[in-house]
């Protein structure tokens, strides 16, 4: 094993360790998770039952395609088989205990298995980042790019969840890597991997289409350039477009799409999902309309807002020092390595223009592939300066960048291990009698767990001053995460009023009275954790938890 290979193994080991540290964050928690939008074990089993048990049922999972749930199902098959063989899983059902002899432990293990899938996906993504950097700009650039990707805190965070984002990023990065292989070598294997990876990315989340769209075009251009001047223009282009590799790519992509999206068994379900994504109403489906709208130009104010959101998300993910290095690196590559810069930057621009701009809000998880591409650009720049005349000074700067990223990644793991919700749970165990009534108004993802307490989620319409007075709970617990969820509801059609959330006036009045001390409840505990090196842009991370207790009645004189 060469020296560079040993360094790569070390980087992958660091990535794996960062993902495994605190892997049980917020578990056990039934089918819920502290990670917003995570897919729980029961959700996976429900999707599998509805998708695979009835021929052409027309059912589809409105939130995501089938790619990721099927991967989670396959990962859990050995454990489910063990439960069946030992008699601990019989007659699956939709109500507790769901067919499990020991549902809490079963769901806990299944959640851990799902998170291990994410850890593997992120570690593999780091390895692919190395592969992209090495193929385009050399071994040192690849090692530095992998280091920057391994320590980017959003990648470390999503390794700890069963959100689809880790696996989604893996497929997109695999497609980018396969593009470099196909463009440089023209070998059929690169084209096949590109087809499979692209199909899996789209089958995990359709948002991938924008980043993937330029890839076959870039490969074709590269293969045309590789043919050189030995063939005339039209013949060379025909050879590049109609190669055996291109045909293999198409066959692999179409075959994967048909298989993973269950088209052969449930074609009407696939069609219904396409109709839903296009905004068409489907009988029996009442899911809110996704806030997606494309326009060539949305006006100066809106375009500026998008750029601000993009900058904010990428800067949060990388930190200012690495972001600056990535921007300089992108400019340098565009000038000195135009061919390979186009291969990296064109998908990034397409992802922003065709995908991110269609959304009302650009959140951090939507820019994960841009963090990988930025890591490659920064790695290429750092490799160049390390080989310049000022090697000593360059080594100090590059070393500082690596240490800074590592410190951010370690802090992310520490934030998970010392989540304020753990301290809130400890306070509840110590100060609150079992069976006490607790009112909550937000998703379980943003709140502590309440074992032994009578916790009740109050509907929005009942979050009123009169309502809480009549119910008279002992405790009220709120979270700073997604706080508008206490007072707002989702707009079923975001185009009406051009807003995603609609306020409920009486709920707004109630929350104001609660926080202002106008209700017979007093704040008895507040738990918060402030990061030092991170500027967090992930809602589920480190929410502030506030506990209100019913005030004792004043004794009569």
Q: Round to whole Å and give the CA distance between 476 and 438.
A: 6
Look-up of token digits 């109403």: 281
Return the half-sphere exposure (C-beta side, CA atoms, 13 A cut-off) of residue 417. 11
Nearest to 328 by CA among 431, 254, 397, 225: 397
Length of the chain (residues) = 557
Radius of gyration of the chain (CA): 26
199 burial (CB, 10 Å; 0-12 / 13-18 / 19+) is buried
Tell me, rounded to whole angstroms, the distance of Cα 128 from its chain centroid: 18
What pLDDT score does 234 carry? 72
Torsion, CA 77, CA 78, CA 79, CA 82, rounded to 10? 120
pTM of the model: 0.95
| Site of tokens 């609150």 | 432
What integer pLDDT is reported at residue 2 of this predicted model?
62
For residue 105, give the H/E element and its range: helix 103-137
Listed in sequence order, the residues at least 6 apart from 402 whose beta carbon sits closer than 8 Å to its beta carbon are 144, 147, 148, 151
Taking the C-alpha atoms of residue 221 and residue 128, their distance in angstroms, rounded to an integer, is 23
50: Cβ–Cβ under 8 A, 6 or more apart, which residues?
57, 59, 61
Nearest-CA neighbor of 172 among 433, 372, 455?
372
pLDDT tens digits along 125-171:
999 999 999 999 999 999 999 999 999 999 999 999 999 999 999 99
Alpha carbons 476 and 394: distance in angstroms, whole number: 54
Low-confidence ranges of the chain (pLDDT < 50): 554-557
10, containing H or E segment: helix 3-20
Is-cis flag, bond preceding 28, omega within 30? Answer: yes
- Rounded distance, CA 153 to CA 150, Å? 8
The pLDDT score that the predictor gives to residue 555 is 43
Q: What dihedral angle (degrees, nearest 10) is formed by the CA atoms of 462, 464, 467, 473?
A: 100
**pLDDT given at position 376:** 98
- Show the DSSP H helices in 361-456 as ranges: 368-386, 391-417, 420-431
Nearest to 117 by CA among 165, 54, 174: 165
201 close to 257: Cβ distance less than 8 angstroms: no
φ and ψ of 391, to 5 deg? -65, -40
The dihedral sign for the CA sequence 142, 148, 151, 153 = negative
Sheet holding 437-440, edge to edge: 454-457, 437-440, 475-479, 545-550, 521-527
Distance CA 539, CA 364 (A): 10
Pairwise CA distance, residues 288 & 489, whole Å: 11
Handedness of CA 156, 157, 158, 162 (dihedral sign): positive
User: What are the beta bridge partners of residue 503?
Assistant: 488
What is the residue whose two structure tokens read 């939709």? 94
Q: Which of 416, 437, 415, 441 minimizes the C-alpha distance to 428?
A: 437
Q: Could you tell me the two tokens for 345?
A: 């930057």
């Amino acid at each position: 094993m060469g020296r560079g290979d040993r360094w790569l193994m070390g980087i992958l080991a660091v990535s794996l360790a960062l993902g495994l540290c605190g892997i049980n964050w917020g578990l056990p928690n039934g089918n819920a998770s502290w990670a917003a939008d995570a897919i729980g074990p029961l959700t996976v089993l429900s999707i599998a039952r509805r998708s695979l048990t009835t021929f052409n049922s027309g059912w589809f999972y409105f939130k995501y395609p089938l790619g990721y749930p099927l991967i989670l199902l396959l990962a859990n098959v050995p454990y489910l088989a063990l439960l069946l063989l030992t008699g601990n899983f019989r007659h699956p059902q939709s109500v507790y205990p769901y067919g499990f002899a020991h549902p809490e432990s079963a769901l806990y293990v299944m959640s851990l298995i799902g998170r291990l899938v994410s850890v593997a996906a992120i570690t593999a993504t780091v390895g692919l980042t190395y592969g992209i950097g090495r193929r385009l700009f050399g071994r040192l650039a690849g090692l530095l790019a992998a280091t920057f990707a391994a320590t980017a805190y959003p990648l470390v965070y999503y390794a700890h969840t069963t959100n689809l984002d880790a696996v989604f990023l893996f497929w997109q990065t695999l497609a980018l890597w396969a593009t470099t292989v196909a463009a440089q070598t023209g070998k059929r294997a690169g084209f096949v991997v590109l087809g499979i990876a692209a199909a899996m990315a789209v089958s995990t989340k359709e948002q991938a289409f924008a980043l993937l769209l330029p890839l076959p075009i870039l490969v074709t251009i590269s293969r045309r350039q590789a043919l050189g001047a030995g063939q005339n223009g039209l013949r060379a282009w025909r050879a590049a477009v109609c190669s055996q590799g291109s045909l293999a790519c198409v066959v692999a992509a179409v075959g994967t799409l048909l298989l993973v999206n269950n088209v052969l068994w449930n074609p009407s379900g696939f069609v219904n999902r396409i109709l839903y994504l296009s905004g068409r109403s489907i009988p029996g489906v009442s899911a809110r309309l996704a806030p997606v709208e494309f326009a060539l130009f949305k006006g100066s104010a809106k375009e500026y807002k998008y750029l601000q959101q993009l900058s904010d998300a990428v800067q949060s993910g990388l930190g200012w020092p690495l972001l600056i290095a990535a921007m300089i690196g992108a400019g340098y590559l565009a000038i000195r390595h135009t061919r390979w810069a186009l291969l990296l930057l064109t998908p990034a621009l397409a992802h922003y223009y065709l995908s991110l701009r269609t959304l009302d809000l650009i959140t951090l998880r939507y820019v994960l592939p841009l963090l990988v591409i930025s890591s490659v650009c920064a790695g290429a720049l750092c490799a160049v300066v390390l080989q310049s005349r000022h090697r000593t000074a360059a080594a100090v700067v590059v070393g500082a960048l690596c240490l800074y990223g590592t410190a951010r990644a370690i802090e992310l793991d520490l934030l998970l291990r010392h989540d304020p919700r753990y301290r809130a749970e400890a306070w509840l165990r110590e100060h609150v009698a079992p069976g006490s009534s607790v009112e909550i108004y937000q998703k379980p993802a943003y709140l502590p767990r309440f074992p032994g307490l009578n916790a009740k989620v109050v509907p929005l319409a009942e979050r009123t001053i009169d309502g809480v007075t009549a119910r008279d709970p002992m405790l009220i617990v709120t979270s700073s995460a997604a706080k508008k969820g206490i007072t707002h509801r989702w707009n079923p059609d975001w185009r009406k009023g051009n807003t995603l959330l609609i306020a409920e006036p009486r709920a707004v009045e109630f929350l104001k009275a609660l926080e202002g001390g106008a209700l017979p409840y007093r704040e008895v505990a507040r738990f918060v954790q402030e990061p030092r090196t991170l500027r967090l842009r992930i809602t589920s991370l480190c929410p502030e938890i506030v506990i209100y207790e019913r005030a004792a009645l004043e004794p009569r004189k």
